[in-house]
Amino acid sequence: MSIDKKNIVLIWDYDGTMTEHTCQTPMLSANMKSLQQKYGIINPDDYWESIDLHRSSGNQEVEYLQKILLDIKTKVLTRDGNSITEKDLQYFGSLVQMAPGIFEFLKEIKDKWSDKVNICIYVISIGMQNLILGSGIAEYVDDIYASKFTHRDYDDPKLDDTDLPINWIKKIVTSFGKTAPLIEIAKGKPASLNVKLSAKDYRFQYRDMIVIGDGYSDLSVFSYVRKKGGHVIGVYEKGNKDAFETSPQKIGYSIDYLLERDYTPNRTTAREIHKMIGEIVENKRCDFSPELLHMYRKGAIRDQETMEYVDIHIRECPYCSDIVTTSMMLPK
């Protein structure tokens, strides 16, 4: 990464954004017989509903990880009848169906802009890091923040932890917890997470970030980045009219674009991301308060004088009049 160039950061969700289904789907599909016997479910998607039925902690994301760990430890989930290891999780991750064009796009976007800016790519997911690594996506991104399963003796230098049966959750990333790695990425150092820095001391500027996600788990990151002047794209399943119509309910209107989950180079979603990058490169932006614009979009401004102040600016500024609305691409 050249220190002389501007940095533009792409923050990606994983499940349903980079993939066509959850990262756990292949593992669940391979164990449907035992899952049916234990939970009475007949397809992988039913597994998540069974978590709702048995939820006790009130934190569904922690609950699902605990449930998967228990099912691994009790051999409801196995690989060919054997206890699941980290290597096995990566194997199941390699079977995940990726979104159209994702690998080609990630390679192309760094190459295309390399003369002008540094494109930095991060994944922040409430999914399982072991499964994500198996997909091969790590080759195209700078880092991955996600929940991690391992064996308690993972730090024993005498052992190859990837061959030990999974029996512990080493790290958990939740929906609201997604902002912590986001801030860590922006500041550049984990130790600076709770340290107040001036804007010039940040490694990356929020205004130069583009966040791409698909659902409830992304809302905290969407909102945080928009309030800081960044850009947000929501995606839905390609060609799925129902997914298009329900997306505003899932991800609200804290997005700049709602686009199909198809990153094939030269198609609409890829073009719009390149367009956003181009606007950042050329600094075709307004310095008006991004937090006020975000509050305006949410209908959260209560002071009448402030509301009139924002209204006047939006009427007079073509850039801000665009960013307080969401552009939606209909499914083809």
CATH of the domain at 226: 3.40.50.1000
How far apart CA 328 and CA 331 sit, in angstroms, is: 9
**Which 3 state secondary structure label does DSSP give 120?**
strand
Neighbours of 230 (CB within 10 A): 26
| pLDDT band for position 52 (cuts 50, 70, 90) | low
- Containing structural domain, residue 236: 6-22+96-283
The per-residue pLDDT for 181 is: 95
Tell me what pLDDT residue 154 has.
58
Angle at 132 between CA 126 and CA 137, to 5 degrees: 125
User: What confidence tens digit (pLDDT) does each residue in 17-50 have?
Assistant: 999 999 999 999 999 999 999 999 999 999 988 7
Is 239 a domain residue? yes
Q: What is the count of structural domains for the chain?
A: 1
**Strands across the sheet containing 257-260:** 168-171, 143-150, 117-128, 6-12, 209-213, 231-236, 257-260, 327-328
Question: What pTM was estimated for this model as a whole?
Answer: 0.91
* Domain assignment present for 302: no
* Whole-number average pLDDT of the chain: 90
Q: What pLDDT is recorded for position 318?
A: 87
Is 230 inside any structural domain? Answer: yes
C-alpha dihedral, 201 to 202 to 207 to 212, nearest 10°:
180
| Residues β-bridged to residue 79 | 82
Residue 54 has pLDDT above 60, yes or no: no
Three-class SS of residue 203? coil
CA distances from 235 to 56, 177, 181, 257, 258 (A): 31, 21, 21, 8, 6
Answer yes or no: is 290 within a domain: no
Q: Per the domain annotation, does 191 fall within a domain?
A: yes
Is 265 domain-assigned?
A: yes
* Torsion angle, alpha carbons of 94, 44, 105, 114, to 10: -70
Q: What is the pLDDT of residue 294?
A: 87
Residue 270 belongs to some domain of the structure: yes
Question: Quick check: 165 and 83 in contact, CB under 8 A?
Answer: yes
The pLDDT assigned to 316 comes to 93
Q: Are 116 and 96 in contact (CB under 8 A)?
A: no
Spatial separation of the C-alpha atoms in residues 153 and 192, rounded to whole Å: 29
In a domain, 235, yes or no: yes
Concatenated DSSP letters for 254-309? Answer: --SEEEES---TTSHHHHHHHHHHHHHHTT----S-HHHHHHHHHT----HHHHHH
Q: Which of 305, 285, 284, 306 is nearest to 295 (CA)?
A: 306
